[in-house]
Structures are given as structure tokens and as C-alpha cells.
Structure 1
Amino acid sequence: MTTALQSDLVTQLYRQHHGWLVGLLRRKLGNLDHADDLAQDTFARILTARDTPSLNEPRAYLTTVSSRLIAQYFRRLSLERSYLDALASMPEDSAPSPETRMLVLEALTAVSRVLDGLSPRVRDIFLLSQLDGLPYAEIAARHGMTVNAVQKSMIRAYQHCYAAVYAAP
């Protein structure tokens, strides 16, 4: 689809469904300002997408895109809260600068987004191995699977992470 055609499609989509989407998001979020922001982000995401599908059900498509953005929004809030809680327990003289805090939050959000691309089971196996340092045999026992299956899950996780970091956008 050409850029001009895609832009026209998004413009038409915006005119016909922006108000509806803001209302939907306001009901989900309970805040008009956040709903407006996420509606704008939804249309921006569609506009910058490599390929916009033909839309037989535009509201279903908008709901899907905006739901993903809502999940990212809440994930970021959760990460921020967790990080700020961890900072609060640190002595003030060793707390990072505001710039460092923002960089860490951005990195945590990026890592979270990559991990969300894994299936829940593979993600859990990966985190048990990488964060908790559990050996494959213990992970296998926890999940009721063989060590070989854990190894294959780890390979899938590593491949996914590699592709997310090094693949061209």
C-alpha cells in the first residue's frame, strides 16, 4: 500500500472512529486525558505501520491496536512503580540521577516488550533460568517436562531475543 493511500485510510479511520475510540478508552482507563493520549497513539501506530490491512471491521482493528497500547501503558506503570519502590529502599546518597532513572525505565520497558513476544511457558522458563539462576533440571521438574524440552525452550527464547535486538525494524 502506498504511503499516500495509507495516510488517506488512517485519516478516514480517524474521522469516523476517533470519538468512539476515545469513549471506549475512557471507560477502560477512567481518565479522559489518558484516553485521548492512547487514542492518538493508536492512530499514530496505525499510520506508521508497515502495512495496514484492509479493514472490514475497523472498530475491531482499533480495539486490538489500542488494547495492545493499554497493555504497554499498564506494564510501564507497573515497572515504574516497582523501580521507584526499589529506589525508595536505597540510601539517598546512592540513588541514581533522574536521567539514569529514565534510562533504566526505558530499558526495563524494552526488555518487557521483548519478553511479551514469548509464549507464557517459554517466558517463565527463560526468566527462571536467567533471573533466578535455576538449573535446567530444576526448571524441568517445576514444569513437569524433560531437560531437553527446557533446552529447546531456551533456544526459542534466545532466538526471539536475538531477533528482537538485532533484526532490522
Structure 2
Amino acid sequence: MGERPERPISAHTTSGGAATATRADPDDSLHSLEKQITLLVRRTMESVWSHGYGPNDAVDRYTYPVLMLLDEEGPHSLTSLTFKLGVSKPTASRQVSRLARAGLVAVSPHERDPRSVSVSLTGAGAAARDEVRTARLTPLREVMDHWPDADREALAGLLDRFNTDLELFVR
């Protein structure tokens, strides 16, 4: 069994001005990340996107991902939605039923499996998704207006990587 690599040494200045060397704790970045994720979720859900789901009561933070997925990938079976969204089948069924009652998705018999259904986005669903997306992008543009494009792209890339790894972890 190999030895653990030494932690990098970082310099800190004491209140008296003297520099001291300490070993960097690898958990420091995780503690910071956990704090930043907590703030991000709270601020986006409570402040930035709290009113960003439009006038249709069927669209909320739980059903909007269904609309996004169907828009990006096309029709899905209920089982596939369950897997892709990381929710239970009863939860996916409730979300789809709610969207179907509002006319935002269409539910039809699956062409290859008569025991299954196919869920697809309707024109009204695409319009609702567009309305929500516009409402959500407006505050993001305002907050990040002064960011260089490279920084926006870097953040989007890192969040994509994080979400991909998180999805693999929870499965």
C-alpha cells in the first residue's frame, strides 16, 4: 500500500505579520463548496427563480425538469422519465399527470410496448417551457452581465461536470 501524498504547504500571515506554514486541508475546498452550493440553491430558489414559473400552475420546480427533458430529448416512456429525472415511478406519474391535465404534455400508448405509455411535449408545453426559460434567464443575465464570456462558459462547464458526476453517484 502506497503512502499518502503530502498535503501542499500554504503560507498564512499571523496578526503580528509573521508568516507561518501549514498543511492545506483537502476538506477545506469541500467545506467551501458545500457552503457555496447551499447559498446557490437557497438564493436561486428563493430570490432569483421564486416567481419564474409563469401563470400555469402545473409548472413548478418539480414539473419544469420534465418539460426540459422532453424538449431536449423528445418523447420518453414513463420508466425512462423516472430514470432520467432520478425520481420514483409514482412521483414521475404524478408530475406527468399534472402536466397532461394542463395540456402541456401528451400521453399515448407506447408504440413498442402496449403496457407502457409515451410522454411527449405539446405545443402548449413548449410555449410554457419557453416562458419559464425566459423568466429564469432574465435575472441570470442581470447577475452575470459583467462576467466575461470565458468565465460564464467555465462555470457552465464545471457545473455540467459536477451534475454529471453527481448523477452517476446517486444511481
Q: TM-score range by the shorter chain?
A: under 0.3
| TM-score normalised by length of structure 2 | 0.27
The structure richer in helix per residue is 1
The structure richer in strand per residue is 2
The structure whose Rg is larger is 2
| TM-score normalised by length of structure 1 | 0.27
Which of structures 1 and 2 has the larger relative contact order (alpha carbons within 8 angstroms, sep 6+)?
Answer: 2
